[in-house]
Amino acid sequence: MKYHIASLFAGLIFGLGLIVSGMANPEKVLGFLDIAGAWDPSLAFVMGGAVVVGLIAFTIARRRTLSFLGFNIKLPTNTQIDKRLVVGSMMFGVGWGIAGICPGPALVAFGAGEIKGVVFVASMVTGMILFEIAERIRASSGHNA
């Protein structure tokens, strides 16, 4: 139960941070991505702050075997950069640039009932389902890469 409460609390703080920082506002995000036009660099500070917090958090987490709530810490161990990672990252970036929104802010917009958030989340879930179907087909045909 405490895991669910902590997860809810973390999600609420994350969502609030997205709203306060402007990351949930597609127009602000598109302004940040428009480096050849009316560039708005303010989100670079938000991202920089997130990187610093992440570095500190992962540095602490690597030294521990249990979380502060007593759960096992399971950090990713794969450091391989392969075609799937690069292509997936590019697709994410293109989608972010076109929509001006990424999954976290999309969920905030979805929760707020904004149509753009609803469409984005529906599209994201559809993409996840199609990926799962493609992975199952790939696995059943014996392709590993």
- CA angle in degrees (0–180, nearest 5) for 4-7-10: 150
For residue 96, the enclosing domain spans 2-140
Residue 89 lies in a domain: yes
Residue 116 lies in a domain: yes
How far is 105 from 14, CA to CA, in rounded Å? 9
Q: Give pTM, 2 decimals.
A: 0.66
Residue 145 lies in a domain: no
Percentages helix, strand, coil for the chain, rounded to the nearest 5?
Answer: 70, 0, 30
Residue 128 lies in a domain: yes
**What pLDDT is recorded for position 144?**
62
How far is 12 from 17, CA to CA, in rounded Å? 8
**What pLDDT is recorded for position 137?**
93
- In the chain, what percentage of residues exceed pLDDT 70? 98
**Structural domains of the chain, count:** 1
Residue 82 lies in a domain: yes
Tokens standing for residue 105? 């802010």
- Residue 59 pLDDT grade (very low, low, confident, very high; cuts 50, 70, 90): very high
